Amino acid sequence: MEAIETGIKDYLKLRNPKNVVDKIVEFIKEQFEKRNANGVICGLSGGIDSALVAFLLGRALPKEKILTLFMGERDTHPDSLKHARLVAETLGVELREINITGILRSIGVYSLEPSPLFIPRKFQERYTINKYLSNQDEKETSFLKSLKGGAGSIEIMKGNAYLHTKHRIRAVLLYFYGEQKNYIVAGCCNKTEKLTGYFVKYGDSASDFDPIADLYKTQVRELGEFLGVPREIIEKPPSPDLAPGITDEFALQMPYEKIDIILYALEHNLESELKNEGISEKEIEYIKTLKELSSHMRELPPHPEIKN
């Protein structure tokens, strides 16, 4: 993937990573005390976002007050558990491993997307990628259509239910185990995900506080390097790990570096600079559309105003 040379890219770089860490650590401590919590619980997926959150929690709290959960299932990549264990062992925090395959099967999730038995994962990945591509066209990506509720496609509607339920079950388990110990739930969504809708409403967005929600994805990587998150986690392609072969950048159909530049420019009224740096109008409009379609995901449910 070619690097994008633009002044906006420089704006995104963290000027002082230590100050950012200190601010987030103080925020975690404040939330912990404000809620009168006995501890904090978070999911460890094996990816960079949850790894960074765990490292930040480790800076803010004693390790015995941190509980992490790895909630794998039928479609989880084998490396994910290895990387979750690596983070937990590095920090010395408790990791509980819970297989949610049975729960998902019992409510019919896998009936929406049966997996061929005894087929090597690389062939499953190829099948999933081809199916994903078949649902999009020149005008709209499959992800954009998913934000439209499927845009009339039964396959995408079923896919939404199939993928989103996995994260919602994980949210249930985080609160189930957390509330038994009066532990509050730390979220692991970053700013790029929040602004583009690349998260699951009432799924991975369900939390009591969001330590990295004001960091773009590229800044998450940068802070992860600063804090010493294992290199193999930082360097692997980010993925929601919900379906074989589907990485974040494949689903979004755009590299995070470019997405972050566009998002930053839109936030700081620098859109004219995007055009000067070779980012197309089509790409800008695509990110604008993702922001607009996902706006409801960042808000509380609407309600009528009753004035008596």
The verdict on whether residue 294 carries a ligand-binding annotation is no
Tell me: is residue 193 an annotated ligand-binding position.
yes
59 to 188, 210, 305: CA distances (angstroms): 16, 16, 43
Q: Is 45 annotated as a binding residue?
A: yes
**Token digits of residue 236:** 């692997």
Question: In angstroms, rounded to a whole number, what is the distance separating the alpha carbons of residues 187 and 119?
Answer: 34
50 is in an annotated binding site: yes
Tokens representing residue 271 in the block: 């859109």
| Distant-in-sequence, close-in-space partners of 169: CB < 8 Å, separation ≥ 6 | 71, 100, 103, 104
On whether 48 is known to bind a ligand per the annotation, the reply is yes
How far is Cα 69 from Cα 41, in angstroms, rounded to an integer?
8
Query: 198, 202, 212, 192: which is closest to 240 by C-alpha?
Result: 198
Tokens 């949210």: give the residue.
171
Cα–Cα dist 72/37, whole Å? 27
HEC assignment per residue over 240-258: CCCCCCCCHHHHHCCCHHH
Are 260 and 288 spatial neighbours (Cβ–Cβ below 8 Å)? no
Ligand-binding site membership of 205 (annotated): no
140 carries a ligand binding annotation: no
Does 298 carry a binding-site annotation?
Answer: no
Residues facing 40 on adjacent strands: 66, 184
User: Is 217 assigned to a binding site?
Assistant: yes
As a whole number of angstroms, the distance between CA 72 and CA 242 comes to 10
Dihedral angle sign, alpha carbons of residues 103, 106, 111, 112: negative
Judge contact between 201 and 212, C-beta under 8 A.
no
End-to-end CA distance of the chain: 59
Is 201 annotated to bind a ligand? Reply is yes
Rg of the chain over all Cα atoms, to the nearest angstrom: 20
- Binding residues for deamido-NAD(+) are 168, 201, 208
- Binding residues are 43-50, 168, 193, 201, 208, 217, 239
- Binding residues for ATP are 43-50, 217, 239
- Binding residues for Mg(2+) are 49, 193
